[in-house]
């Protein structure tokens, strides 16, 4: 049993989940970077007058959308890496604020959770 009270098979399951999520986040970041490169290239094209194109979103809008999605993916990747680090050092499933175990239902819903539900509620997370 770990400090969180989670069994070795449960910890291994969370490690698999987090590794898969990390792979998806990395793939998404690569795809987003390519898409942002395409938009940047289109924005550099002096002939592109997308502001008057009634058929779709402007390049500026698309850039903003992609940037927001990329930031979200980067934040998730950071959270996944932090959770994997906690797995490695034996603190996964332990609240970083109060030191109590994080409930299994919360970890199933949010494998990257750093806070138990009580601490999450008190800080508004």
Mean pLDDT of 97-112: 96
Q: Which residues of 89-115 are buried (b: 16+ CB within 10 A; e: fewer)?
A: eebbbbbeeeeebbbeebbeeebbbbb
Give dist(CA 42, CA 60) in Å, integer: 10
The more confidently predicted of residues 61 and 13 is 13
pLDDT digits (tens, 9 = 90+) for 13-57: 999 999 999 999 999 888 888 877 777 777 666 555 545 555 556
**pTM (predicted TM-score):** 0.77
Give dist(CA 96, CA 56) in Å, integer: 45
DSSP 20-37: HHHHHHHHHHHHHHHHHH
């Amino acid at each position: 049993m770990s400090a969180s009270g989670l069994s070795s098979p449960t910890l291994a399951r969370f490690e698999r989940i987090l590794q898969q999520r990390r792979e998806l986040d990395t793939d998404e970041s690569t795809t987003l970077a390519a898409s942002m490169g395409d938009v940047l290239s289109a924005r550099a094209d002096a002939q592109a007058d997308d502001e008057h194109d009634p058929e779709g979103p402007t390049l500026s809008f698309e850039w903003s959308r992609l940037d927001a999605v990329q930031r979200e993916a980067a934040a998730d990747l950071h959270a996944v890496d932090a959770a994997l680090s906690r797995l490695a050092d034996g603190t996964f499933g332990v609240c970083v604020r109060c030191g109590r175990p994080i409930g299994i239902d919360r970890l199933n819903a949010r494998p990257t959770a750093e806070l138990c539900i009580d601490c999450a509620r008190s800080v508004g997370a």
